């Protein structure tokens, strides 16, 4: 992971390397890798595949630039992602940690605003949800009214 991250970081100045919170069998070496890359190599790391504020907090303590909580999956497990985001934002602020909170696995249009309001810095959105955020039935109706009114005012 370290060698790959160093290679990826050479591609451009804005590269952020994604590293999972732990290995596929729960191996615990990844946070040490995060710390090394962030502190020794000055490589920005996005720690991903996290489902709790606790995991994100530990990644932030390791120095992660970004901590990615999978909000949709948290909700699917019967928990409220907003609660996790609020807890996480509070401890990051209380401890003066600079990690930015990314929330992914967005399932509903409502998630975007509620997660930002809860304290996320970034919410990832698939195109169909983004379109649903933009296009509103009443906005469509209003735009049509504007066009109809404009047609009525045009002279011969």
CATH assignment of the domain containing 71: 3.20.20.70
Overall average pLDDT of the 90-95 stretch:
98
pLDDT > 60? residue 156:
no
Residue ranges making up the domain that contains 116 = 2-153
Catalytic residues: 18
The domain tally of the chain equals 1
Element (H, E) at 118: helix 109-118
Measured CA to CA, the distance from residue 156 to residue 147 in angstroms comes to 17
Distance of alpha carbon 119 from the chain centroid = 11
pLDDT > 80? residue 83:
yes
Average pLDDT over the chain reads 96
Q: Which of 15, 69, 4 is nearest to 42 (CA)?
A: 15
Overall average pLDDT of the 90-108 stretch:
97
CB atoms within 10 A of CB 77: 11
**E strand map for 15-114:** 16-20, 44-50, 66-70, 100-104
Q: pTM of the full predicted structure?
A: 0.90
Overall average pLDDT of the 80-106 stretch:
98
pLDDT at residue number 153: 86
pLDDT at residue number 155: 58
pLDDT > 60? residue 132:
yes
pLDDT > 90? residue 154:
no
């Amino acid at each position: 992971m370290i060698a790959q991250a160093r290679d990826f970081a050479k591609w451009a100045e804005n590269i952020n390397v994604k590293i999972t919170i732990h290995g596929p069998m729960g191996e615990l070496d990844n946070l040490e890798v995060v710390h090394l890359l962030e502190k020794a190599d000055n490589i920005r790391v996005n720690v991903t595949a996290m489902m709790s504020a606790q995991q994100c907090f530990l990644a932030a303590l390791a120095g992660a630039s970004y901590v990615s909580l999978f909000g949709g999956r948290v909700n699917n497990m019967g928990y409220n992602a907003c609660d996790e985001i609020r807890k996480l934002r509070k401890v990051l602020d209380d401890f003066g940690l600079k990690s930015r909170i990314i929330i992914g696995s967005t399932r509903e249009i409502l998630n975007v605003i509620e997660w930002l309001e809860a304290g996320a810095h970034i919410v990832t959105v698939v195109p169909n949800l983004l379109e649903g955020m933009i296009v509103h039935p009443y906005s469509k109706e209003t735009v049509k009214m504007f066009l109809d009114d404009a047609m009525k005012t045009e002279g011969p």
